[in-house]
Amino acid sequence: MLNRIIRNRQSRGHRLENLDRTEVEILRIARRIFHGLATTAHDPMSLEQALEVDPDRLNSVVPLRLMLVINAMRRARSSCFIYANPFCPRCQSRLTPEERLFVAVFRAVVQQQKTMAHANAMILCEGGDTRAFLSQMQELARLVPAQAG
């Protein structure tokens, strides 16, 4: 039953082709962080793998800043964040609804669309306090190339 629910959620998800390279890379790192936080007891290398970044594409500080973004979001949300398994080729090609909102907040912050960023953050954080999450997301946006959008 649970597998069917997860498959249905992923089949309705958006595809990665709608994201630019920076957004895909941010999502790739975020998924590895989510996986590492969820499976540290079983796979202690997951978080270490999340910190690996191509220095030609992104600042090496991005994964650490992304961890701060994720922790701020976790404190604001009351339910689990559903993410696609970063090690499953089929799963990787789709965005979960939560991932779509996460990327939408990132994109809006990069494009300086404060109202859109706040609206998506409110939905993602389930009505929780979004100030720390948006503040951390703004710091992350300062570290990435200006191509997102």
Q: How far apart are CA 46 and CA 33, in angstroms?
A: 7
Say yes or no to pLDDT of 138 above 60: yes
What is the total count of domains within the chain? Answer: 1
Quote the pLDDT of residue 62. 87
22-45: average pLDDT: 82
Answer whether residue 56 shows pLDDT above 80.
Answer: no
* pLDDT of 137: 98
Range of the domain at 32: 2-143
Q: Where are the alpha helices (DSSP H) in the chain?
A: 2-11, 21-39, 45-50, 62-76, 89-92, 97-110, 114-124, 131-143
92 falls within a domain: yes
Residue 124 domain flag? yes
Q: Is residue 79 part of a domain?
A: yes
Q: How far apart are CA 67 and CA 50, in angstroms?
A: 10
Residue 148 lies in a domain: no
| Per-residue tokens: 107 | 């994109």
- Read off the pTM: 0.82
